[in-house]
Amino acid sequence: MIDREQQVLDRIERQRRRPAKVREERITLSHGAGGKATHTLIEAVFLAGFGNPLLAPLEDSARLRVGDARLALTTDSYVVSPLFFPGGDIGDLAVNGTVNDLAVSGATPLYLTCGFILEEGFPIADLTRIVASMRAAADRAGVTIVTGDTKVVQRGKADGCFINTAGIGIVEGTSDFGVSAVQPGDAILVSGPVGEHGVTIMLARGELDIEADLVSDTAPLNGLIAELLAACGGVHAMRDATRGGVATILNEIAVDAQVSVVVDENAIPVRAEVRGASELLGIDPLYVACEGRFVAAVAGDQASSALAALRRHPLGAEAAIIGRVSAEQPGMVLLNTAFGGTRIVDMLVGDPLPRIC
């Protein structure tokens, strides 16, 4: 286990000594894909520019102390296209996504803000539908939308509706989660089948000439995570597998905790429809975004109790142990393939699925 404060100082020092550099002169879609280009942009531009110890852990939310309260604070913008898709819309995505960023940080989500950027000409009926969906998602997750903002830009200067949500949660107990707490011997679990959200969005765009009975997995994970934490004290890190998918999180764990992660392809739950569509797209389902799944690193001797706790909850019914953490080959993610081989799973490169969330 690497000391968190030390890790933060190391990251700032590393950036100072050998600054990450964005090679491109202009923003590309890859910079928003959550993979390698996004990480470089964050280190080279945002961490270098804003650089402070609270931002530096680059977790899904920042941990703050305000008075006597320990808080988590997070934000995400949503630019998904299309706005409405099987199983959800940009509204519940914007609520669930921020709820989940707080929940995977070990915080209890409480309050959300919501900022709309609307394009001139956007139908009021669609906006009303999105707001209703946000309200329903907030009620389901037990959070309240307490303040907001609306901006309008001229026709052609946005794409219908973009939403930003920020959220605060309270951190209770003494548990210190985070990728830097992951240790060799930990088991890696995923809370359900991967890639359904991403493939659903691609199908909703009509870009694939197939029909499938898939819906987005968008869901609030705070209830499921609360049950896991109540049942199992050995949870070291959690991240929700959004942009860049499970593969990206595994790489973040490997790099930030300086361990390797070895996963078994056969153990990863993937629906047949997702597998089929991913093959057509030429991408690995491990890189496809989920919006209601998370990856957890759990002390090895508590893996089965963690799995049992997840499976008791409807949102974790298909949870699985997919791999383990090792001290060898730090920084690497290795996949034992279904055919008996082993290959390296790298960070996502490029953006095969733009505007998935």
Residues in 78-97 that interact with its own copies by CB under 8 A: 78-79
Residues in 154-183 that interact with its own copies by CB under 8 A = 154, 156-159, 162, 164, 166, 168, 170
Please tell me whether residue 103 binds its own copies under the rule CB under 8 A: no
Contact 239, 295 (CB under 8 A): yes
Please list, residue by residue across 233-269, b when 16 or more beta carbons sit within 10 angstroms of its beta carbon and e when fewer do. ebbbbbbbbbbbbbbbbbbbbbbbbebbbbbbbeebb
Give the alpha-carbon dihedral of 228, 333, 185, 244, to 10 degrees: -10
Question: Interface with its own copies by CB under 8 A: which range of 40-48, 175-183, 296-304, 315-323?
Answer: 40-48
- Binding residues with its own copies: total (CB under 8 A): 82
Least spacing, CB of residue 28 vs its own copies, in Å:
6
**At a CB cut-off of 8 Å and minimum separation 6, what does 181 contact?**
1, 4, 236, 237, 257, 297
Beta carbon nearer to its own copies, 164 or 260: 164
Task: Pick the stretch among 10-18, 70-78, 199-207, 277-285 that binds its own copies (CB under 8 A).
Answer: 70-78
148 is an interface residue for its own copies by CB under 8 A: yes
Q: 74: which strand partners?
A: 167
Structure tokens at 274: 């997702």
CB of 208 to its own copies, least distance (A): 18
Please select the residue that binds its own copies; options are 17, 125, 173, 230, rule is CB under 8 A: 125
CB 41, CB 31: distance < 8 Å: yes
Q: Which residues from 209-228 bind its own copies, rule CB under 8 A?
A: none
If the CB atoms of residues 252 and 351 are measured against its own copies, the closer one turns out to be: 351
End-to-end Cα, the chain, rounded Å: 32
Angle at 168 between CA 4 and CA 76, to 5 degrees: 85
Identified binder of its own copies from the candidate list 4, 11, 31, 239, rule CB under 8 A: 31
Task: Considering the complex, state which of residue 21 and residue 343 has its C-beta at the smaller distance from its own copies.
Answer: 21
